[in-house]
């Protein structure tokens, strides 16, 4: 496995940063028509050289996605000046991660969730010594996984499911951390794959959906957005019939 330092990781993430592209009129217009949310992808560069990513388990009593593995994050508030502020605020509220302890690095390609949210992923380094202060109203658990795991066959499986006239690929990763089993899947797993592709500059060992190009994730986002635009138009036309 490639040994990385923080400078190299930051350079790779910043080279793929989409913050400027996301300010272009066509994307701003589309995003303005969606509900907005952000998530923080907290990266940890350990003393042994391993890059880890921090994940949470949503509280079991929540109405939506209860018990699912997720990133700190949530809906954008009116008071949030931008996507980064949303991600940092939610990280503080959910796991007690203070914004001064986050070295924000970049924005990865956004995703449109099945519930219609335009979700912007924010990457940032956090200290290896960070101890979460879990908010039980939102989070049941917090754990860390080596980022490279999201490029390997180990513990990975996938399935194709019908979605609006095409197939969507769902990725699943099973982790055992300190005797506890966790399953990362869906959008969270996909964002972990994207982050790992950028940091390690390589494709996953397993098959991805047609058109996936680990070396051109920006185009993948544009294609994703255009597909959703067409689906929105078809859905709107159908509702008027």
What are the structural domain ranges in the chain? 6-240
The tens place of each residue's pLDDT in the chain, 241 residues long, gives 667 999 999 999 999 887 776 677 767 666 666 788 999 999 999 999 999 999 999 999 998 889 999 999 999 998 999 999 999 999 999 999 999 999 999 999 888 887 888 899 999 999 999 999 999 999 999 999 999 999 999 989 999 877 666 677 899 999 999 999 999 999 999 999 999 999 999 999 999 988 888 888 777 777 767 776 666 665 655 555 4
Residue 19 pLDDT = 75
**CB-CB contact of 125 with 6 (8 Å):** yes
CA distance 71 to 68: 10
CA distance linking residue 44 with residue 68, whole number of Å: 22
Which secondary-structure segment (H or E) carries 227? helix 217-240
CATH architecture of 6-240: Alpha-Beta Complex (3.90)
DSSP label at 206? S
Residue appearing with tokens 């519930």: 115
Cβ atoms of 110 and 91 within 8 Å: the answer is: no
Which pair of tokens denotes residue 103? 């070295």
Q: Is 144 exposed, middle or buried (0-12, 13-18, 19+ CB in 10 A)?
A: middle
pLDDT value of residue 241: 46
Dihedrals phi, psi of 201, to nearest 5 degrees: 50, 50
pLDDT at 35: 86
Q: Which residue has the tokens 């197939």?
A: 167
Q: How far apart are CA 103 and CA 93, in angstroms?
A: 18
Q: What local confidence, expressed as pLDDT, does residue 116 receive?
A: 81
pLDDT at residue 219, as a whole number: 74
Residue 31 is predicted with a pLDDT of 64
Global pTM reads: 0.89
Q: How far apart are CA 46 and CA 5, in angstroms?
A: 10
Q: Report residue 174 as tokens.
A: 């099973």
């Amino acid at each position: 496995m490639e040994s990385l330092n923080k400078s190299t990781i930051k350079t790779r993430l910043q080279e793929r940063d989409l913050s400027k592209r996301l300010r272009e009129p066509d994307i701003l217009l589309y995003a303005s028509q969606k509900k907005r949310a952000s998530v923080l992808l907290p990266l940890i560069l350990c003393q042994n050289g391993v890059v880890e990513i921090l994940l949470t388990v949503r509280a079991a009593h929540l109405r939506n996605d209860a018990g699912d593995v997720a990133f700190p994050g949530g809906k954008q508030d009116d008071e949030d000046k931008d996507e980064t502020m949303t991600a940092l605020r939610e990280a503080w509220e959910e796991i007690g991660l203070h914004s001064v302890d986050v070295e924000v690095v970049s924005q990865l390609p956004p995703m449109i969730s099945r519930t219609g949210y335009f979700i912007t992923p924010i990457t940032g380094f956090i200290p290896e010594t960070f101890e979460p202060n879990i908010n039980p109203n939102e989070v049941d658990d917090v754990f860390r996984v080596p980022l490279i795991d999201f490029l390997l066959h180990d513990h990975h499986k996938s399935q194709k499911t019908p979605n609006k006239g095409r197939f969507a690929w769902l990725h699943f990763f099973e982790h055992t951390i300190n005797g506890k089993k966790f399953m990362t899947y869906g959008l969270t797993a996909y964002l972990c794959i994207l982050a790992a592709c950028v940091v390690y500059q390589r494709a996953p060992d397993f098959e991805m959906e047609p058109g996936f190009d680990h070396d051109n994730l920006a185009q993948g986002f544009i294609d994703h957005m255009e597909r959703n635009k067409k689906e929105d138009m078809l859905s709107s036309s159908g509702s008027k019939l």
